[in-house]
Amino acid sequence: MNTLNVAWLLISICLAFLSIFATMLFYISSREDYKLHKMISLSLISMGVTSVVWVLWGWSLSNGPTDIAGIISNPFEEFLLNGKVFANDTIFTSVPASFQTTGGVLGITFQMILLMLSVTIVVCCLGNRQKFSSWVFFCILWITLCYCPITHIITSGLLSNDGAITHLLGTPFYDFAGAGKVQLTASSAVAVILILLRRKEFGKDVIDDAKEPTQKDQLCALVSIFALIAGYFGINMGATLNADSNAGYGLIITILISFSSMIGWVGIQQFLLKRISIFSIAHGILCGLVLSTACAGVVSPAQALIVGLLNGIVCNYIVRIVRRKLSHTVGWDVVGIHFSSSIIGLLAAGLLQPERGLLVGGGVNQILAQIVGIAFIVIFACVVSAFLSLFVDSVLGWQERLAHRENRN
């Protein structure tokens, strides 16, 4: 791996880190009842817990060399990055060339940023009512038992190039930049937790679309959406691992998909409600960015425009249905945007992938691989997240006592 590729990955990692801040700011600015200090604290603590768990056993569990049943790796084989860093002239600056990409310190760091983003989506959408101790306990368990196994399944396990499911279907599951393991896993976890803990009034932060947003809210939305665009540029750039034409193509397709999704979202919003706000524009761009992480590498410019436009329309419709049927809250908005966009993007990859997609003469193998992969990820994430949320609730309780919360605030 040459120095240009190293510099490219370093820049991508720094940009991708912006997506964490932007996600936090975007969803905090969308909720009126957020206690700002509580959510900032929860988010920062989550980042700290994530980094520690990832370095200790998370990387080894998800990307270690020893495969266990196609679901996990040996968590102790590369514990604390054992065998991944080496001293050179008394300082840790040298790593073997073979470790510079996916399995090297740059790849490990990039994957840690994706994990941080996934955890941030979950914590910012559950609200500010969970206890610190309960959330930290859940976060550690969720990373270990949900996120890391799904990462291994996609990259090295059942759905990978050499996986059992791939051999059965004849082609691997395609995920350009982590839509499956980041967006789909996080949104599935949010959905099942909101359903199971609904009796505890999780996420009852009602959004009033008729209320005019303040200048502060609009400024936060503006800053967060530009930071999200830059952050997802970094995610899609880093996914290619090289400073080549594939990375450049991923960037232009990311722009096309995100802004065509915005046009679709805003168009349907104007047609049905005769009202456009900066938040509707931001939601449209966000659903396009999520979509791009699934299929930016395999769609043509014309296909990107069409898929992005349809994605914006479909996600807007789904969000409005979910708000009307379930709850008009940010948590369910996240499910409508991240869950729907990631599934649409992964299915688009199965339909449009050159020489493999169903609509471009490739047969049914790729679309079957995408459907099976989506179903596997959703079922796995929902089952594990449901078990962990109920377990944490029974052991520690999710929420602080109301009197204690009111006295402290």
The H-assigned helical ranges of 241-339 are: 245-273, 278-295, 301-325, 330-334
pLDDT exceeds cutoff 50 at 147: yes
pTM: 0.91
**Mean pLDDT, the chain, whole residue set:** 85
CATH superfamily of 3-408: Ammonium transporter AmtB like domains (1.10.3430.10)
- Predicted confidence (pLDDT) per residue in 226-265, tens digit: 999 999 999 998 888 777 777 888 889 999 999 999 999 9
Q: What percent of the chain has pLDDT over 70?
A: 86
- Which residue type is seen at 115? L
Mean pLDDT, residues 177-191 taken together: 94
166: Cβ contacts below 8 Å, ≥ 6 apart: 158, 159, 160, 172, 173, 369
Mean pLDDT, residues 189-215 taken together: 66
Q: Is the dihedral of CA 284, 289, 294, 296 positive or negative?
A: positive
Q: What pLDDT shows up at residue 103?
A: 53
Q: What pLDDT shows up at residue 17?
A: 94
Q: What pLDDT shows up at residue 154?
A: 95
- Predicted confidence (pLDDT) per residue in 5-22, tens digit: 778 888 999 999 999 999
Rounded to the nearest 10 degrees, what angle do helices 301-325 and 278-295 cross at? 120
pLDDT exceeds cutoff 60 at 306: yes
* Domain spans in the chain, listed from the N-terminal domain onward: 3-408
- Predicted confidence (pLDDT) per residue in 62-113, tens digit: 998 899 999 999 999 988 888 777 776 667 655 554 444 555 788 889 999 9
Q: What pLDDT shows up at residue 203?
A: 47
Q: What pLDDT shows up at residue 129?
A: 65
Q: Which residues on neighbouring strands pair with residue 72, listed in sequence order?
A: 68
Give the whole-angstrom CA distance, residue 129 versus residue 144.
Answer: 23
- Supply 130's token pair: 């969970």
Of the pLDDT bands very low, low, confident and very high (cuts 50, 70, 90), residue 143 is very high
- Predicted confidence (pLDDT) per residue in 324-346, tens digit: 777 656 678 888 899 999 999 99
pLDDT exceeds cutoff 50 at 310: yes
Of the pLDDT bands very low, low, confident and very high (cuts 50, 70, 90), residue 211 is low
- Predicted confidence (pLDDT) per residue in 32-67, tens digit: 555 667 778 888 999 999 999 999 999 999 998 899
Give the whole-angstrom CA distance, residue 285 versus residue 295.
Answer: 16
269: Cβ contacts below 8 Å, ≥ 6 apart: 275, 276, 280, 316
